[in-house]
Amino acid sequence: MMTNMIKNATANHVSCEIGYILLGEKINGIWHAKMTWRRTGSPVSVDFDWQKVMDREETRGDVVGFFHTHPKGLNSPSARDKKTMNAWSTCFGKPLLCLIDDGHGTYGWIYNAQDETVSTVNKTAIFRRKVVVAVE
């Protein structure tokens, strides 16, 4: 599910991936986050300001995951995505949410490096003001 804002953002950068850091919290299997620090990458990847992400987690502890688009329509994490998610989950010592928008919908996975599991999110919804909710 996409908001007009996301659709427009995608339309303006059809060939490049867009990424956001997800800041928020998880309660009872429900993830609530604000999509922040938008970045535009290349057609096949988007990089984040990792130092900024690290600083944020150290000071506030509210980094819950990452959102990015797959302009070429792949609706699952790439090998690079998996590697990145596992590395950050290990680094932060907690499960992290990976949201991917393939242009048709937003799909989610939870990477838990502590018990080496990856689970699929049942539902995601993007609300106004870039608020995203994901239900385990």
**Site residues (vs Zn ion, CB under 5 A):** 78, 81
What is the amino acid identity at position 61? G
Closer CB to Zn ion, 57 or 81, in the complex:
81
In the bound state with Zn ion, the residue whose beta carbon lies nearer, of 55 and 80, is 80
CB of 83 to Zn ion, least distance (A): 11
Backbone angles phi, psi at 115, to 5 degrees: -110, 15
Ramachandran region of residue 113, left (φ > 0), alpha (ψ -120 to 50) or beta? Answer: alpha
Cβ at position 98, least distance to Zn ion in Å: 8
Helix axes 79-92, 50-59, angle to 10 degrees: 30
Task: Quote the least distance from Cβ 123 to Zn ion, whole Å.
Answer: 20
- Which lies closer to Zn ion via its Cβ, residue 78 or residue 86? 78
Task: Please state the closest distance from residue 59 (CB atom) to Zn ion, in A.
Answer: 27
Whose CB is nearest to Zn ion? Answer: 81
Beta-sheet strands, E only, within 9-75: 18-27, 30-40, 63-69
Q: Which is nearer to Zn ion, 43 or 61 (CB)?
A: 43
Could you give the C-alpha distances from 130 to 43, 46, 87, 98, 118, in angstroms and in order? 22, 18, 25, 16, 25
